[in-house]
Amino acid sequence: MKKYDMKILKVDLTACGYETQLLDERTARGYLGGRGLGTKILYDEQPAGVDPLSPENIIVFATGPLTGTRTPSSGRHFVVSKSPATGGITFTSSGGTWSAELRKAGYDAIVVKGTAERPVYLWIEDGDVELRDAGSFWGKLVSETDEGIRKETHNEAKVLCIGPAGEKRLSIAAIMNEKYRAAGRTGLGAVMGSKNLKAIAVKGEKNIEVADGIGLSRAVNKAMKKISESGVTKEDGGLNAYGTAVLTNIMNASGIYPTKNFQTGTFSDAENISGERMAETILKEKTACYECPIECGRWVDVKSGKYSGVKGESLEYETSWAFGGQCGVNDLGALAKANYLCNEYGLDTISTGSTIGFAMELVDRGIISKDEAGLDLVFGNDEAMIKMIEMMGRREGFGAILADGTRAASKRIGRGSEYYAMQVKGLELPAYDPRGAFGLGLNFATANRGGCHVSGYTIAAEILGVPLKADPFDSTEKKVDLTILFQNLTASVDSSVNCLFLTFALGADDYADMIRYVTGWQNYSSEEFLATGERIFALERLFNKREGFGRKDDTLPQRLLKEPMPEGAPKGKSHPLEGMLDRYYVRRGYDTEGHPEQETLKRLGLA
């Protein structure tokens, strides 16, 4: 049986050197990889109070035991660091094939610290590591960087890079890979930019070996059967047929499609920017990540209207909302153009669109003037929205005010604008109004990286009825427990590393089976798998506690707590956070400040 090892490449950009390290089995089993491994490294190796954009901040690029194996949907990687947007620990992830290629090139994770004297990129080929000059790529857009680096290295290399937004250290800068894939949230593109690290290119031929190939085949066959039978993940199911934007009409019908900066939950033009409409108009073909049977990716090609000629990948639900409902724009072509620009500048689409929608509301309310904005920045003005993306990406004009997201922008603007900043812990909220999904609101408030839906996607149960149905307006202990379960399972899956979409078809048993056969760990069970997620979530809490986070940070924007939803099914509802939060801390074994109690730490092996 092949022994499972995790090989970590540790790069010090200040010293211009590197070393390799094999991870001990106890840490590998306790934290898996991806989000868990990154969190463990940050917690152990980084003291409190480090400036996220200083050389001392560590940034970890991590795969997991399942990555690049023949387990389904195993083409994701995680990036973990201290976020310039939130000031706390964060993870962000992306799909594609970069992660599998990194493992084939001989490494399971890369840990980077320090700052290079000049712009560099890291080139890893079949175990060989080289830091190369990136001077000629500095200032270039993402596609130019990707193509240029592949020309300099290997045409089939997989390139992860930042665009101008990361170089200019925007707190909403993404880390892109393979041109169109984004580890978008929480501004880690800025951390790469602060280190003068433009890109990491990888190429390898190594076999990704597993401990028990026959056992893994059995587990994969079982998983594939479930995937092919699930209404969500099967071929020609909703995700395959319409991509993630299949959610647009459903969230709008449920009255939780945030519209014009969360002023309401119903957008009259939602149908025009839905996944169904996309399939009828601009969809060219479906795309997939490494070993993924779902194929939820979309390649779009705008063939008519003023955005004719725009093409590109990954016009997701969140992106189409951020520039659609959030900004009051109803033209799919404009959304495709906005997505294209964010990909090229290396910007998080959610935070970019959310911040522009925030500014539009400030103009609407007369808090800022159109002259101050430098554009006719009003809801529904697609051209002003498009122009503002470029201004933000370059930190130009009023774009410089908005470039670091809504929390920073509201501090710069003042005049009561912070009330309209729809963010938690400095991270802009995504495309669900929690006044109509109380579990998701609790998750938004408590997610360790800030206003994040994928930390605990209770929408699956509250709105979509998958894998069980939960009343969206229930705020009892039952809903609190459901939210905790989603958060723990997610942290486990994020560390395995696998795509969360498979959780719509697979359970903890399936993951535990696949991990056991890949690693050869005796008696690895679903209980151990779930406990890993709970441990990781608590360790993130400990990191944030060290940075001064507490109950005051586990909250929601005042609008969602005070203003009743004006229409739709959630009409009259605001979010009942306080009571839910009390119950949440008790059920988690945290104190009233939201910090894990000593007994909880002992139970999780953290004390």
Partner 1 sequence: MVIVKFFSTLRNITEVREAIIEQEGSVYDILNALLSNYGDLKEAIFDEKGDIYINILLNGRNIEYLNGPATMVSQHDTLYLFPPIAGG
Site residues (CB under 8 A) for partner 1? 230-232, 236-239, 241-247, 249-250, 253-255, 271, 275-276, 296, 317-318, 453-454, 457, 459-460, 463-466, 469, 471-473, 500-501, 504, 568-570
Q: Classify residue 479 by its DSSP letter.
A: H
How many angstroms separate the Cα of 458 from the Cα of each of 236, 400, 466, 473? Answer: 24, 35, 9, 12
Coil, helix or strand for 561? helix
The alpha helices in 434-565, defined as continuous H runs, are 438-446, 459-462, 477-496, 508-519, 526-546, 558-562
Kindly tell me which of 268 and 598 has the beta carbon lying closer to partner 1: 268
CB of 330 to partner 1, least distance (A): 16
CB of 506 to partner 1, least distance (A): 13
Question: Which of 202, 404, 224, 184 is closest to 314 using CA atoms?
Answer: 184
End-to-end CA distance of the chain: 33
Coil, helix or strand for 10? strand
How many angstroms separate the Cα of 357 from the Cα of each of 329, 353, 367, 403? Answer: 10, 6, 14, 13
List 479's β-bridge partners, or say none.
none
Kindly tell me which of 383 and 471 has the beta carbon lying closer to partner 1: 471
CB of 298 to partner 1, least distance (A): 12
What secondary structure does DSSP assign to 392-418, as a single string?
Answer: HHTT-THHHHHTTHHHHHHHHH-TTGG
| 173 within 8 A of 85, measured Cβ to Cβ | no
Kindly tell me which of 163 and 243 has the beta carbon lying closer to partner 1: 243
Kindly tell me which of 236 and 371 has the beta carbon lying closer to partner 1: 236
Kindly tell me which of 219 and 461 has the beta carbon lying closer to partner 1: 461
Instruction: Compute the distance between CA of residue 121 and CA of residue 110 in angstroms, rounded to an integer.
Output: 13
Kindly tell me which of 282 and 437 has the beta carbon lying closer to partner 1: 437
Kindly tell me which of 59 and 461 has the beta carbon lying closer to partner 1: 461
CB of 316 to partner 1, least distance (A): 8
CB of 587 to partner 1, least distance (A): 23
Is the bond leading into 11 cis (omega within 30 degrees of zero)? no
CB of 246 to partner 1, least distance (A): 5
Kindly tell me which of 317 and 584 has the beta carbon lying closer to partner 1: 317
Kindly tell me which of 9 and 505 has the beta carbon lying closer to partner 1: 505
Q: Classify residue 270 by its DSSP letter.
A: G
CB of 242 to partner 1, least distance (A): 6
The alpha helices in 133-246, defined as continuous H runs, are 142-152, 164-167, 188-194, 213-229, 238-242
Kindly tell me which of 466 and 561 has the beta carbon lying closer to partner 1: 466
| 532 within 8 A of 40, measured Cβ to Cβ | no
CB of 126 to partner 1, least distance (A): 36
Phi/psi zone of residue 378: left (φ > 0), alpha (ψ -120 to 50 degrees), beta? Answer: beta
Is the bond leading into 424 cis (omega within 30 degrees of zero)? no
CB of 457 to partner 1, least distance (A): 5
Instruction: Compute the distance between CA of residue 428 and CA of residue 285 in angstroms, rounded to an integer.
Output: 30
CB of 290 to partner 1, least distance (A): 19
| 172 within 8 A of 187, measured Cβ to Cβ | yes
Kindly tell me which of 246 and 362 has the beta carbon lying closer to partner 1: 246
Coil, helix or strand for 21? strand
Instruction: Compute the distance between CA of residue 372 and CA of residue 366 in angstroms, rounded to an integer.
Output: 11
List 201's β-bridge partners, or say none.
123, 159
**Sequence letter at residue 268:** S
Instruction: Compute the distance between CA of residue 602 and CA of residue 531 in angstroms, rounded to an integer.
Output: 13
Q: Classify residue 178 by its DSSP letter.
A: T
Phi and psi (nearest 5°) for 443? -65, -45
| 508 within 8 A of 526, measured Cβ to Cβ | yes
CB of 467 to partner 1, least distance (A): 9
CA-CA-CA-CA dihedral for 566, 572, 578, 583, to nearest 10: -120
Kindly tell me which of 140 and 298 has the beta carbon lying closer to partner 1: 298
What contacts 24, CB < 8 A, 6 or more positions away? none
Tokens 């712009």, residue located: 119
CB of 584 to partner 1, least distance (A): 21
Instruction: Compute the distance between CA of residue 126 and CA of residue 203 in angstroms, rounded to an integer.
Output: 6
CB of 269 to partner 1, least distance (A): 14
Kindly tell me which of 243 and 328 has the beta carbon lying closer to partner 1: 243
Kindly tell me which of 50 and 253 has the beta carbon lying closer to partner 1: 253
